[in-house]
A = this chain, B = another copy of it.
Amino acid sequence: MVGKGHERMNLFTPGPVDMSREAQQAIGRPGLCHHRSEPFRRMMSKLTTLLQAAFLTRGEVVILTSSGTGAMEAAVANLFSSGDKVLVPVSGKFSLRWAEICEAYGVNTARIEIAPGKAPEPDDVVSALEADPAICAVLLTHCETSTGSLTDLEAICRAIHDLELLRSREILIIADCITSLCVDVLRVDDWGIDCAVAASQKGLLSPPGLAFVSLGDRALKRVRTAESPRYYFDFRKYLHTEIPFTPAIPLVSATLASLSHLAGLGPEPVWRANRSGALAIKLLIQAAGMRPVAERQASGVVAFWTGDLDAAEIAHSLEREHGITVAQGQGGLKGRILRVSPIGKGPGALLGFAAAFSSVLEKMSREVDMSSIETELNRLLEDCSIWE
């Protein structure tokens, strides 16, 4: 356990992350605010406005009670019909999920296979789109949470929009921003993302259980015509009407409180704090002689090869001896990598992690040369002080 006083900061996993103080206080408040009451309607409306500001969109935002995956499925079911053709660059477990969901809905899915740790490049995407004029959408993953790889969404969106102009095609852009909203720079409208998906338990420092979908005009047009079966996730039930189904009320309170606080801090300081936290962790693992998995590092999670040291043993020691939870690798990466998230972690929590990590590695006869990184680390940690 690291952090100050009663605030246990022990989840260094890339979702859920430790809740903000604001989320924690709100979720513990006694009683439930009925979802058909005026006070709750005002809460939902305020949360929607804050989410629009967080996505940087003037489009609609739908709030769902589900995990982020539910919102990914909702996007597919509301935007496509069986037989539509889409493009999915696959570079890990979470981008693969887009392909799996599309395939479950009978959507014809062209994949670009990308090595773990690498991200799709604008040229790859454009070539695949040029090769098949039937493709009507690209489904992207901003932060591939299995490797910590950040996709250059802005550059890919620009390349797709250029192609749209050149070929008079409409190509919808859908992005999984579950680990990037309020973590990495994201500008939904400026970049021209038609539909972005996010969830409560990452950058929003809130408990898991809520998911969010932004919808621009082109996406809204498709929502009205898509023929995939859907009911609970049918966006038409959520737009411009009464809340259709009983939402997870305490999670709405918690997320609203947390996001209000983040909005007060402002987007740039929040992005910078998470970026600097990620760079601090990267610095630390490099000082331990380990290297990151991602070529282009996302701020939401640093995945790193543990080399000749056993990843599971490091994770278990961190948990057992220091009460710190980190994530292991998934699928083929299990036992070979660890994944550590800096989301919402202030200098105290990060230094606590550094001390615990060094101590665990020392017992495995690996020295972490902290003195060599001290100056740079302290400079990075300054940016993270917004969390304390």
Contacts and interface: CB of A to CB of B under 8 A. Distances in A.
A11 B34 contact: yes
Determine how many copies of this chain the complex contains. Answer: 2
Interface size class of A (residues with CB under 8 A): 35 or more
Contact of A229 (B32, B35, B229, B249): B229
Contact of A18 (B19, B27, B31, B232): B31
Interface of A: 6-8, 10-11, 13, 15-16, 18-19, 24, 27-32, 34-37, 65-70, 72-73, 77, 82, 100-101, 104-106, 199, 201, 207-209, 228-232, 234, 244-251, 319, 325, 327
Contacts of A7: 30
B251 A248 contact: yes
Interface class of chain A by DSSP: loop
Contacts of A13: 34, 36
B246 A34 contact: no
Contacts of A68: 245-246
Contacts of A249: 16, 207-209
A70 B37 contact: no
Contacts of A16: 32, 34-35, 246, 249
A290 to B, nearest CB: 22
Contacts of A36: 13, 327
B8 A247 contact: no
B67 A231 contact: no
Contacts of A31: 8, 10, 18-19
Contact of A207 (B106, B201, B230, B250): B250
Contact of A30 (B24, B82, B100): B24
Nearest to A74: B232
A73 B248 contact: no
Nearest to A250: B207
Given A13-B34, A32-B19, A36-B327, A69 B232 contact: yes
Nearest to A227: B106
A245 B69 contact: yes
Select the residue from A6, A11, A82 with max chain B CB neighbours within 10 A: A11
Given A229-B228, A231-B100, A325-B37, A15 B66 contact: no
